[in-house]
Amino acid sequence: MTTTNVTLKDILENSAARFGDKAALLKKSANQWQAITYNELLGMVKDFGTSLINMGMAKGDRIALLTHNCPEWVISYYAIVTNNGIAVPIDKELKPQEIRHILEDSGAKIIIVTKEYLGKIEEICESIPDLKDIILITDTSRDISMPKDLKEEMRGIEKAWLTMVRKIKQEHESEIKEIEKLWLGFEEKLKSLKVKKDGLIIEKQNQFLEFSQGIACATTDAPDVVYFDDLFGNRDLIERTMNYDDVIAVLYTSGTTGKSKGVMLTNKNIVTNFIGVKHLMQLDDSIRVLSVLPINHVYESTCGVLAPLFLGGTVAFAESLLKVAQNLNEIKPNFFLGVPALYQALFTRMSAKINSSMAGRIMNTNPVTRTLITSKIRKELGGNISFISGGASLDPALQKGLRNLGLNIYNGYGITETAPLVAVNSKVGGDRLGSVGKVMPDVEIKIVNPNEDGIGEIWIKGPNVMKGYYNNPEATAEVLTDGWYHSGDLGYIDKDNFLFVMGRVKNLIVTGNGKNIYPEEVEAELVRSPYIEEAMIYAHKPGTTDEEVRAVVYLNQDALDVYAKEQDLKELSKKDVYSLIRAEIKKFSANLADYKRVREFMIRDEEFPKTSTRKIKRYAVDEVISVNHN
């Protein structure tokens, strides 16, 4: 198959022709990994696509997706885009009002949702006039092996249960709300007193959550709720022609600086990413992926799911974050996408395991015996995997640490607006620690308004650049100039054409004497302290002119408990904690120029609010900082 002007429809049909009975998708059900072959996937896509057309999906209609990572998401996405619809993936972690913004802004006509998120939609759907239908994916939908008659029997039981719980909800709504209020108050007390949840509290919490989630799911079984399973079995299939330049997805940005915007991506944007990934990473149909990151994010959907299916590989969906290690060992993937927070947790866990014994510490210091450790680690993780890091900046020290443990980890750079890949360290282009690699084929980069160090804003041009922001020509005009996308990121290109990303233009701090401070650089130093879990740097004006660097930090309570024990203290006083953190900030700022060093800091009692890719929502924290300073 030639890759010139190819569409996702062409790709799926070609993959089915070449790899018909090979597993395209894997998911675990009843402790068994179950496969959907390429032939089955193509058949399901055509069948479900016919139902969407029969439900009224016209060319250009937006169809929303609100699910966890699962085969139904892939079937739905393909069915939408190969029949001239536009997919609108939604982050499952969003609050109902945030989902409302996306549904209203996109004008979504249908939403496809898994049962656990149905309550969020029922809460807001009556006030969204464009939303005509809800397609519900239930637990039985996910069980491929269950016979149809048993599925229907289970659905009957489920409907009876929903009717009963709805009745309870209607008759006891005020009591349920009061219980929710009491539990939230109890959790706040636990948090303020820094009481760790023991087994009893967790057991009670799970009991309450199971009941409250059941109540939330027991929404009105209205006529506009259609079961996913009921949309298969069409005898006369309808197929539409797909065009190379069609807009196929509107993805709403994570919103680290405010309300999200809908990024319009075309078939061309997505397909050129496939080709770039294949070339730079030297991938073929042997690719085997474990999908972990949120599938609504373009990094996961393009590079972690759709690209492997383009190549004829296999995608397995992780059961949960808690079972990633187990699933890695079971699936034995050779390609894995992650974000720095995930890799930091992996590194911390592996390092702790090695350092928990004297033998481990000794073996790790000897280059000869270290190979035994690295070999065991690779085996535990499933074998020889290429780990790719994206979504946020990867600390070079973390990358080096992981490589010392025997892991092949490559750092890349992408943006939702570029579908997403721009550059990546790779087998073909080379690999340089601290950089995000070399630019993808057919993509151009220029550094705009560089300073004396060659650092300026990164502009990007190529077939991967979005068409624009949906229904927002003003925002589009602000970031697109003659096909060049203004990334808002600061960076430079070295003499060997490796791209380095320094931080965000909006986050840049400029001192009174013109010195530039990149908050991300300072934050990376601070979180090297075992006691600082997260950090956010900001500028504060103590006077009327000059700015100084300040920090907000969230601490690692487990590490503090260990420290207290080492100091023979029952617990640390507030003064003890502040003295320790001040010393840690001074220690880990030693490698920074004096003007970059943190002068004052605040301690948060809870984690920072984050996007689904674990980026801190700075605008939300800035509001708190402003209130505190005022």
CA distance 139 to 111: 17
Chain length of the chain: 630
Residue type, 230: D
CA distance 444 to 460: 6
Assign residue 406 a region: left if phi > 0, alpha if psi is -120 to 50, beta otherwise?
left
CB 553 within 8 A of CB 581: yes
CB 412 within 8 A of CB 423: yes
CA distance 413 to 501: 8
The percent helix, strand, coil of the chain (3-state, each to 5) is 45, 20, 35
Lookup: tokens for 393: 């900046």
Residue type, 164: M
Residue 617's pLDDT is 80
Residue 373's pLDDT is 87
List, in sequence order, the alpha helices (H) in 484-536.
519-526
| 191 sits in which H/E element | helix 173-192
- Identical fold between 8-145+225-311 and 339-504: yes
- Topology annotation, domain 509-629: GMP Synthetase; Chain A, domain 3 (3.30.300)
CB 615 within 8 A of CB 254: yes
State which residues of the chain have pLDDT below 50.
Answer: 142, 219-223, 630
CB 42 within 8 A of CB 16: yes
CA distance 32 to 119: 29
The order of strands in the sheet holding 225-227 is: 225-227, 133-137, 110-114, 62-66, 86-89, 247-252, 262-266, 468-469
Residue 383's pLDDT is 80
Q: Alpha carbon 284 to chain centroid distance?
A: 25
Phi first, then psi, for residue 135 (nearest 5°) are -105, 120
The Cβ of residue 530 has, within 10 Å, a number of other Cβ atoms equal to 14
Strand pairing report for 23-29 and 314-317: parallel
Residue 522, helix vs strand vs coil: helix
Q: Which position has the token pair 């005898």?
A: 235
Residue type, 574: K
CB 620 within 8 A of CB 609: yes
Bridge partners of 25, per DSSP, are 36, 315
Q: Alpha carbon 565 to chain centroid distance?
A: 36
Residue type, 437: G
- Topology annotation, domain 8-145+225-311: Rossmann fold (3.40.50)
Lookup: tokens for 18: 């070449």
The ranges assigned to domains in the chain are 8-145+225-311, 339-504, 509-629
CB 56 within 8 A of CB 23: no
- How many Cα atoms within 13 Å fall on the side-chain side of residue 252? 28
CA distance 394 to 341: 9
CA distance 601 to 616: 17
CA distance 274 to 581: 45
The Cβ of residue 578 has, within 10 Å, a number of other Cβ atoms equal to 13
pTM for the structure as a whole:
0.81
Residue type, 385: I
Specify whether domain 339-504 bears CATH 3.30.930.10.
no
248 contacts: CB under 8 Å, gap ≥ 6: 8, 80, 81, 86, 87, 265, 266, 267, 270
pLDDT in tens, 566-584: 999 888 999 999 999 999 9
| 175 sits in which H/E element | helix 173-192
Cis peptide bond prior to 420, omega within 30° of 0: yes
